[in-house]
Amino acid sequence: MTIAAVLTAAGSGSRLGHALPKAVVPVAGVPLVVHAARALLAARTADGASVTQLVVTAPAAHLDTVAALVGEVVDEAAADVRLDVVGGGRTRQESVAAGLAELTDDVDVVLVHDAARPFAPPALVARVVEAVRSGHAAVVPGLPVVDTIKRVGAGDGTGRPVLETVPRGDLVAVQTPQGFARDVLERAHAVGSGRGADETTAASDDAGLVEATGVRVWVVPGDERAAKVTTARDLMVAQALTTGAPA
């Protein structure tokens, strides 16, 4: 088994509203992309397998910065890791596709992870890899949904009508890293590439593309620490949890 990870870090972070692209915004003085890369490279399966190729998607204007930052993480890692840094696409889906194009021939398991989930613990990364290795071609971490979820219809200017309450016991909120047999993920991206150019049609995760090809996706237990940093509030929470101090 040869494991690669595509680390998506090419987004602008518009909802975060920071002057810097989200992936290079620091928490505890360390950029999000560095936290995420460290977790990916620290993960070990029960038999000692680890990520040996790391492909990072970066904003075009920040390729050198991201390459230098993640290069230090790779240098710190005990294992021999190949690093590639590529410019991102217009959407996350296109960025992942650009990352997949860099995989070396020997890779057979691919993780896709968001720099926006900087504190996904190495044990979660390993759990996903183990599930792929056990025979599931597509694996996502998921947590139970805590809110009551309602489907709504078109609004009338004051609000939107509830159409139904979706039974919550059947729902999970999905995280990254997501893990795949390489051939399954590459095929899903090839089949779904037409959706990728536009945020309104692009897949928001890779498992969604795999589902669309008819391959079964499996959920393993997620981890609260893999929460996504989307808003300024999320960044403050991450900072407080990491340092005990407000951002």
Question: Distances in Å between the alpha carbon of 67 and those of 85, 89, 238?
Answer: 6, 17, 24
Helix (H, G, I), strand (E, B) or coil at 145: coil
User: Do 210 and 184 meet the contact criterion of CB atoms below 8 Å apart?
Assistant: yes
Q: Name which of ligand CTP, Mg ion, none residue 134 binds, using a CB cut-off of 5 to 8 Å depending on partner kind.
A: none
Q: Helix-strand-coil percent breakdown of the chain, rounded to 5?
A: 35, 25, 40
Q: Name which of ligand CTP, Mg ion, none residue 115 binds, using a CB cut-off of 5 to 8 Å depending on partner kind.
A: ligand CTP
Considering only 4, 13, 37, 77, the residue that binds ligand CTP (CB under 6 A) is: 13
x-marked contacts with ligand CTP along 95-134 as a string, rule CB under 6 A: x------------------xxx------------------
DSSP annotation of 101 reads T
Rounded CA gap, 34 and 66, in Å?
9
* Amino acid identity, position 62: H
How far is C-alpha 238 from the geometric centre of its chain's CA atoms? 17
Q: Is 8 in the site for ligand CTP (CB under 6 A)?
A: yes
Considering only 50, 52, 53, 57, the residue that binds ligand CTP (CB under 6 A) is: 57
Considering only 5, 6, 11, 138, the residue that binds ligand CTP (CB under 6 A) is: 11
Binding to Mg ion (CB under 5 A) within 1-60 occurs at 11
Q: Which residues bind ligand CTP (CB under 6 A)?
A: 8-16, 22-23, 57, 88-92, 95, 114-116, 228, 230
Residues that bind Mg ion (CB under 5 A): 11
